[in-house]
Chain A
Amino acid sequence: MESFLSRYKNALVLVTVLLVQVFGLAVQVRRPAPDAPDGRGARLIRYWVMSLIAPPERLLHATGGGIRGIWSTYIDLIHVHDQNEKLKAEIDRLRLEEASLTEDARQGQRLQGLLGFREHYIYQTVPAQVIGASGTEDSHVLIIDKGAKDGIRLDMPVITPDGIVGKTREVFDHSSQVLEISDSTSGAGVILQTTRIRGVLRGSAWGQPQIVNVSPDDRIKAGEPVVTSGGDAIFPRGLAVGTVERSVPDPDGTLMDVLIRPAANLSRLEEVLVITNMGDQIPGQTQLDIAESEQQKASDILAERLPSREDANAPQGQQTDELAGASADGDVARPIRPPAALRPDVFTPGYTPPAAGMTPGARLGRVLSGEGQPQHAPARQSAPVTPVPAAAAAAAAVATPSNAHHSEPTESVHAEQPEAVHKQQGPVLVHDYSGATPPQYQHPAEPRSVSPAASAAKPHTPATPPSDLHPASKTTIIVDGPAERPAAQHKKPAPPTTPATPPQRGY
């Protein structure tokens, strides 16, 4: 027996080593899911190896980065003047863009708040240096220099400004492994941005991500952007993934696989961001904007658009611009209103000034100072009277004809409106809130009044023939838009002598 062992010692050791490893493989493969974390033993071994490999790699990375920094800084100094000029021009251009984009973004956020729609915002990220890779072709794993001590946890999304990279797979104290989206064992929920086709992004054996098992669709074209759908509960929705490269039939031949060119350069990664916290908490100014938007009721929004809200006799203190009030209170969340358009309902060619003539920040300054608001704003600073509640104004505006003819101010509106209308440049949208006629455009040449004489002179409302109109059944019209109106127009209508009968509607 002893001679057998000594004779076949080497072979026995080899067989033993192989059996131990095969047994270890079998134990590891028995995990409940392929993506499940390793067992304690395997994790311990990975931890030891990472502890041995990561510090020298970190040192190598730092040294290499220092040398690269010195070199690139020296090279950059040669062209620094030209670059400076280009950057200044770029800053000027970006400031112009920022001024308009800020308004658009805030408006969009307010509207989101009104709709009750909560986007998952990226709340907190941890920047990390990529200090290593798996070093093998078939394993697309990166090693980053941040770990559990830095707030990294398992299955956290890893991104770059260009697009997603992958997710954390193994997390140690000061380093982590990142499984790239190009690895064959990775997966992410994605959506094609244009066609809105959803799918699952998987890596492949040759390292190219692909959306698998997609129904054949002619609309899928090369170059279409692909973004995350958020359905995998790992990546927040809307992050860039890449672009469609081409579609190929899947091995079964019934469905298709869409090959994706990743947006992030996965083979040249140096810095990445690990998203450590996602939530619907929207920070700072945005939260305040949305909260304000949610508090604004629909009736207020309607009343804000009604001309009767602007009472010519309202006291100056009570009709003060919201912006001014907000400034006095120090409320940074006041809404910024864009300058009023000449014609809010139609496009005005040539109204937008050329970019070359604009000053960065000037538009924002005009908005903050109240310039560009509707031209009838000075009417607010007239004699003090009790302000008309918006709802009451709206009710008066849609009052029944029997009430309308008692109201003298209403008469004056009809008498003076055509003159005001002539000052306008384009067609004006006219609403008939009694429901008798649909909203229509009136052109400046046309009389604004719907009195019988005017209607008979130029009929433009097919739903209400002139013959049906009667002096006693005038319809009050509400003009939408910043048209100038005389002060008498804004007077509170006289109370009805008889209780108004609510219109009977059969819903």
Chain B
Amino acid sequence: MALLASTRREADQQSFPLVVMLLAPLLALGLQSFVALHFPPFDVVDLPLLVTIYFAITWRNPLSATVAGALIGIAQDALTHHPLGVFGIGKSVVGYLAASLGVRIDTESHGTRLLVVFASTLLHGGIFWLLQHRMLAQPLVWSWLREIVRAVVNALVAVILFALLDKTKRQE
């Protein structure tokens, strides 16, 4: 498992088609909504979060990742009955940190991605609990076991999903 930072030049040489950048978050939101409807256990997976992390560690630009995380999170909020911004704040922070991390370490290897997604999912869950339970005083049950299982599942799904998204990269 290599935790070495790849060169900045390599990162700059990779980009995504605009269609992919627009469609990937929308597809993640749509699939999350559709699959969870027909397969309820799927709501353990957070596809919009995975897409946010992927773009963050690939772009390595905290500014873009923060804005992208906020937009994706607010869109996810719109599908729930939460006030807009609960997921938005969580994904903004996760996007910023993941992008900051992507500058310093090599995020191309599966092992690194596994760890980054695992930690990001836990962080996202913590922020969500803080906002929903503490700030908005909504009933929410916190279970460490469930959060760890969720983080592991998301990390495993992320490895596959990131590999698929890597195929859409465009070398310049």
- Are the CB atoms of A136 and B81 closer together than 8 Å? no
- Are the CB atoms of A205 and B141 closer together than 8 Å? yes
- Are the CB atoms of A10 and B62 closer together than 8 Å? yes
Count residues of chain A with CB under 8 A from any CB of chain B.
Answer: 49
Distance, CA A22 to CA B134, complexed state (A): 13
- Tell me the smallest distance from the CB of A430 to a CB of chain B, in Å: 67
> Known contacts A9-B63, A132-B33: does B76 contact A24 (CB below 8 Å)?
no
Q: Which residue of A lies closest to B132 (CB)?
A: A138
- Are the CB atoms of B89 and A135 closer together than 8 Å? no
Q: Which residues of B contact A132 (CB under 8 A)?
A: 30, 33-34, 37, 79
Distance, CA A146 to CA B87, complexed state (A): 26
Q: Which residue of A lies closest to B47 (CB)?
A: A135
Q: B85 is contacted by which of A21, A61, A183 (Cβ under 8 Å)? A: A21
Q: A139 is contacted by which of B29, B37, B81, B141 (Cβ under 8 Å)? A: B81
Residue from A22, A136, A137 with most neighbouring chain B CB atoms (10 Å): A136
Distance, CA A135 to CA B29, complexed state (A): 8
Within 8 A of A (CB), among B127-150: 131-132, 135-136, 138-141
Asked if A206 is at the interface of the complex by the 8 Å CB criterion, the answer is yes
- Tell me the smallest distance from the CB of B79 to a CB of chain A, in Å: 5
Asked if B86 is at the interface of the complex by the 8 Å CB criterion, the answer is yes
Overall SS of chain B's interface:
helix
Q: Which residues of A contact B100 (CB under 8 A)?
A: 10
Count residues of chain B with CB under 8 A from any CB of chain A.
Answer: 45
Residue from B40, B63, B79, B82 with most neighbouring chain A CB atoms (10 Å): B79
Q: Which residues of B contact A267 (CB under 8 A)?
A: 40
Number of A-B contacts defined by CB within 8 Å: 136
Asked if B26 is at the interface of the complex by the 8 Å CB criterion, the answer is yes
* Proximity string of chain A (269-304) to chain B, C-beta cutoff 8 Å, 1 when within and 0 when not: 100000000000000000000000000000000000
Asked if B166 is at the interface of the complex by the 8 Å CB criterion, the answer is no
Within 8 A of A (CB), among B32-70: 32-34, 36-38, 40, 43-44, 46, 62-63, 66-67, 70
Distance, CA A142 to CA B136, complexed state (A): 22
Q: Which residues of A contact B33 (CB under 8 A)?
A: 53, 57, 132-135, 143
Asked if B83 is at the interface of the complex by the 8 Å CB criterion, the answer is yes
- Tell me the smallest distance from the CB of B11 to a CB of chain A, in Å: 16
Q: Which residue of B lies closest to A56 (CB)?
A: B30
Distance, CA A205 to CA B140, complexed state (A): 5
Q: A53 is contacted by which of B29, B63, B89 (Cβ under 8 Å)? A: B29
Distance, CA A261 to CA B26, complexed state (A): 35
Distance, CA A118 to CA B138, complexed state (A): 39
Distance, CA A484 to CA B43, complexed state (A): 74
- Tell me the smallest distance from the CB of A257 to a CB of chain B, in Å: 13
Q: Which residues of B contact A130 (CB under 8 A)?
A: 37
Asked if A226 is at the interface of the complex by the 8 Å CB criterion, the answer is no
> Known contacts A138-B140, A205-B139: does B36 contact A133 (CB below 8 Å)?
yes
- Are the CB atoms of B85 and A25 closer together than 8 Å? yes
- Tell me the smallest distance from the CB of A58 to a CB of chain B, in Å: 10
Q: Which residues of B contact A25 (CB under 8 A)?
A: 83-86, 89, 131, 135-136
Q: Which residues of A contact B44 (CB under 8 A)?
A: 137
Distance, CA A184 to CA B85, complexed state (A): 19
- Are the CB atoms of A28 and B83 closer together than 8 Å? yes
Q: Which residues of B contact A29 (CB under 8 A)?
A: 83, 136
Distance, CA A246 to CA B84, complexed state (A): 36
- Are the CB atoms of A24 and B80 closer together than 8 Å? no
Distance, CA A45 to CA B83, complexed state (A): 11
Q: Which residues of B contact A136 (CB under 8 A)?
A: 36, 43, 46, 76, 80
- Are the CB atoms of B85 and A134 closer together than 8 Å? no
Distance, CA A338 to CA B148, complexed state (A): 67
- Tell me the smallest distance from the CB of B149 to a CB of chain A, in Å: 12
Distance, CA A48 to CA B79, complexed state (A): 11
Residue from B40, B46, B132 with most neighbouring chain A CB atoms (10 Å): B40
- Tell me the smallest distance from the CB of A132 to a CB of chain B, in Å: 4
Q: Which residue of A lies closest to B35 (CB)?
A: A135
Distance, CA A49 to CA B29, complexed state (A): 10
Asked if B118 is at the interface of the complex by the 8 Å CB criterion, the answer is no
- Tell me the smallest distance from the CB of A142 to a CB of chain B, in Å: 7
Distance, CA A340 to CA B78, complexed state (A): 64
Asked if A177 is at the interface of the complex by the 8 Å CB criterion, the answer is yes
- Are the CB atoms of B34 and A61 closer together than 8 Å? yes
Asked if A185 is at the interface of the complex by the 8 Å CB criterion, the answer is yes
- Are the CB atoms of B84 and A24 closer together than 8 Å? yes
Q: Which residues of B contact A204 (CB under 8 A)?
A: 139
> Known contacts A133-B33, A205-B139: does B78 contact A45 (CB below 8 Å)?
yes
Asked if A46 is at the interface of the complex by the 8 Å CB criterion, the answer is yes
- Are the CB atoms of B79 and A134 closer together than 8 Å? yes
> Known contacts A53-B26, A60-B30: does B83 contact A135 (CB below 8 Å)?
no
Q: Which residue of A lies closest to B23 (CB)?
A: A56
A-B contact pairs, 16 of them (CB 8 A): A10-B63, A10-B66, A21-B70, A21-B92, A25-B86, A28-B85, A29-B136, A42-B84, A48-B78, A49-B75, A49-B79, A53-B26, A132-B30, A134-B80, A139-B82, A169-B81
Residues of B within 8 A of A (CB): 26-27, 29-30, 32-34, 36-38, 40, 43-44, 46, 62-63, 66-67, 70, 74-76, 78-86, 88-89, 92-93, 96, 100, 131-132, 135-136, 138-141
Residues of A within 8 A of B (CB): 9-10, 13-14, 17-18, 21-22, 24-25, 28-29, 42, 45-46, 48-50, 52-53, 56-57, 60-61, 64, 130-139, 141-143, 169, 177, 179, 183-185, 204-206, 267, 269
New A-B pairs, 15, CB < 8 Å, besides A10-B62, A134-B80: A17-B66, A17-B70, A24-B85, A25-B131, A28-B84, A42-B84, A49-B78, A53-B30, A135-B29, A135-B76, A136-B46, A137-B44, A138-B132, A205-B140, A205-B141
